[in-house]
A and B are shown apart, each in its own frame.
Chain A
Amino acid sequence: MTTSKSVVIIDYGLGNVASASKAFAKLGASVKISRDKNDINTATHLVLPGVGAFGEGIRLLEESGVIPMITERALRQKIPFLGICLGMQLLASTGNEFGVHRGLNWLPGTVDELSGTHIRLPHVGWNEIMIQKKGVLLQGLADRNFYFVHSFVFNCTDPGAVIATCGYGDGFVAVVEKGNIFGTQFHPEKSQVSGLTVLKNFLSYA
């Protein structure tokens, strides 16, 4: 991995930014946790972390003032963008957790509670993903188990963007990709070797 990759983990007050930062650093990237315009504008890769509720997430993201900047960089300049967990869910059109909230609407679909009979929520632990189509993030995986911790899921209505699913409850979307926009419902930064492979694939995309 070259050191020319410059990752900015968007700091909007949610998410385990320290772990994501540590994982990218281990892969040899330079990493900043920031909401600064200059940092975002000079990044080669943007990462939106996040844990917690959708409404609070989108509110904090709006308050942080980064939405116009990241939209410009990801949607118009098309630099690689990765949403992790809630960060992936925020890419959706709408979130239905504690009320109805508008999302970034970069990928169509809604965020809803994981459905299924007799399932324990949150869905916590290691689960195996089922790869639905060839994408960038899941190349060269030695093991398809990843660490999940969530109760809500992204029901993405663009079937072309769904790269992997997971079979808990009625099943849900585990990985999305659309061009330079990536998202994982699991935590790659917490998924040891498999997780590091996913992050490495993300860094390799340009």
Chain B
Amino acid sequence: MLKVRVIPCMLFNGFSLVKTIQFGTMRNLGSPIQAAHVYNSRNVDELVFIDLKATEEHREPLYDVIHEVIGECFMPLAIGGGIHSLDVIQRLLSIGADKVIINSEALTHPEFIERAARKFGSQCIVVSIDVKRNGRRFMVMDKRGATTTRHEAVPWAQEMHKRGAGELFVTSVDQDGSMAGYDIDLINAVVSEVSIPVIASGGAGKVQDIIDVIKKGHADAAALASMFHYSGHTANSIKQRMAAAGIPVRIVGP
């Protein structure tokens, strides 16, 4: 049976890993290379690395840092931040990234997703969607949550699927860093309307939050950032609890 993935999410500001709360307030969490080394030794399912500042600072991803992070990983790695051309994707894949995560460029040039999927295959094109509630509507946000777009999450997810995205990484801006649980309604709404895998992000604070977003939200994977840093949990300790709740997970030592 296909396992539900638990994915540590490394947020990078150009210098170090950081924690965010509702996409603001950053706290320094140290070296991404060291963190990748630890995650690899703990046999995590997959890693996500997002450079939060690349697009804002109009620069390309920091290939040297990413290359070192990849050097630590014998598991799949998805890289996001600053991906605005096919050349950047080519370069990231050539240094060993398995997938790229695209956000802003999909909003400004949705056809970019088609070109990327055609060239590199849908399996490596992940579209990231940041969402904020506005009343009962789920609005897609741009500029790291600062700007509301005209898109609503579900039709936008469907469009990205249709244009060739292989996976969706859906983050609730409201829940980000809150450790108060995922936005289950949001995840469920997206999962119901697309047939590609959906990774839920934003809000995990305890194991039950993950269990809920899988069981009630039907996410294919759960991304966590803060929880690993502040709860003392490891991927395996989380997955043991998930297994006890009847969720198929991959548990390997150590």
Contact A121 B195 (CB under 8 A): yes
B240 within 8 A of A: no
Q: Find out whether the CB atom of A126 lies under 8 angstroms from the CB atom of B123.
A: no
Against B, the Cβ 8 Å flags (1 = close, 0 = not) of A144-167 are 010101110000000000000001
List the count of A-B residue pairs having beta carbons below 8 Å apart. Answer: 102
**A–B complex contacts, Cβ < 8 Å, 23 sampled:** A18-B95, A19-B98, A22-B96, A23-B74, A51-B120, A51-B123, A119-B195, A121-B195, A122-B166, A122-B197, A124-B167, A125-B5, A125-B220, A126-B2, A128-B3, A149-B99, A149-B166, A151-B123, A187-B76, A190-B74, A192-B75, A194-B252, A196-B74
Helix, strand, loop or mixed for chain A's interface?
Answer: mixed
* A123 proximal to B (CB < 8 A): yes
Q: Is B250 an interface residue (CB 8 A)?
A: yes
Query: What sequence of 0s and 1s flags, for each residue 70-88 of chain B, a beta carbon within 8 Å of any chain A beta carbon?
Result: 1100111000000000000
Q: State whether the Cβ of B244 lies closer than 8 Å to any Cβ in chain A.
A: no
Interface size class of B (residues with CB under 8 A): 35 or more
Q: Which residues of B have CB within 8 Å of A53?
A: 121
A residues near B45, Cβ cutoff 8 Å: 125-126
With both chains docked as a complex, state the minimum distance between the C-beta of A43 and any C-beta of chain B, in angstroms.
21
Interface size on A, residues (CB 8 A): 38
Contact present for B3 and A145 (CB under 8 Å): yes
Report yes or no: B74 in contact with A126, Cβ–Cβ below 8 A: no
Is residue B35 within 8 Å, beta carbon to beta carbon, of the partner chain?
Answer: no
The interface residues of chain A lying within 8 Å CB-to-CB of B74 are 22-23, 26, 189-192, 195-196
Which positions in B face A, CB cutoff 8 Å? 1-5, 40, 43, 45-46, 70-71, 74-76, 93-99, 120-124, 166-167, 195-197, 220-221, 250, 252
**Closest beta carbon of chain A to B166's beta carbon, Å:** 5
Which residues of chain B come closer than 8 Å to A193, judged between CB atoms? Answer: 43, 252
Given contacts A120-B196, A150-B123, whether A190 and B76 have CB atoms under 8 Å apart is yes
**A-B pairs, 10 with minimum CB distance:** A18-B96, A52-B121, A126-B3, A126-B250, A145-B250, A149-B123, A122-B123, A127-B2, A19-B96, A190-B76
Q: How far is the CA of A119 from the CA of B167 in the complex (A)?
A: 14
Q: Please name the residue on chain A nearest to B195 by beta carbon.
A: A120
A120 to B166, CA, bound (A): 10
Q: Which residues of A contact B167 (CB under 8 A)?
A: 122, 124
Contacts of B94 in A (CB 8 A): 17-18
* Chain B residues whose C-beta falls within 8 Å of the C-beta of A126 in the assembled complex: 2-3, 5, 45, 250
Q: Chain B nearest CB: distance from A143 CB in Å?
A: 5
Knowing A18-B95, A151-B122, A167-B1, the reply to whether A145 touches B252 (Cβ < 8 A) is yes
Q: Known contacts being A19-B96, A147-B75, is A125 close to B1, with CB within 8 Å?
A: no
Query: Given the complex of chains A and B, what is the CA–CA distance between A51 and B94 in angstroms?
Result: 12
Rounded to whole Å, the gap between the CB of B44 and the closest CB of chain A is: 9
CA distance A57 to B195 in the complex (A): 25
Is A51 within 8 A of B220, CB to CB?
no
A115 CA to B32 CA in the complex, in Å? 39
Taken residue by residue from 15 to 43, chain A's Cβ proximity to chain B (1 for < 8 Å, 0 otherwise) reads as 01111001100100000000000000000
Closest to A189 in B: B74
Max chain A Cβ within 10 angstroms of own Cβ: one of B98, B121, B221: B121
Q: How distant is A131 from chain B, measured CB to nearest CB, in Å?
A: 16
B71 to chain A, nearest CB (A): 7
- Chain B residues near A189 (CB-CB < 8 A): 74
Which of B220, B250, B252 is in CB contact (< 8 Å) with A124?
B220
Query: Cα distance A186–B144 when bound, in Å?
Result: 34
Residue from B71, B76, B121 in contact with A147 in the complex, judged by beta carbons closer than 8 Å: B76
Q: How far is the CA of A53 from the CA of B123 in the complex (A)?
A: 10
> By the criterion CB–CB under 8 Å, are B124 and A51 in contact?
yes
Among B2, B4, B46, B75: residue with most chain A CB under 10 A:
B2
Q: Which chain B residues lie closer than 8 Å to A120 at the CB level?
A: 195-197, 220
The answer, among A16, A147, A168, A187, for a CB contact under 8 Å with B93, is: A16
**A53, A125, A187 pick with most chain B CB within 10 angstroms:** A125
B2 touching A16, Cβ below 8 Å: no
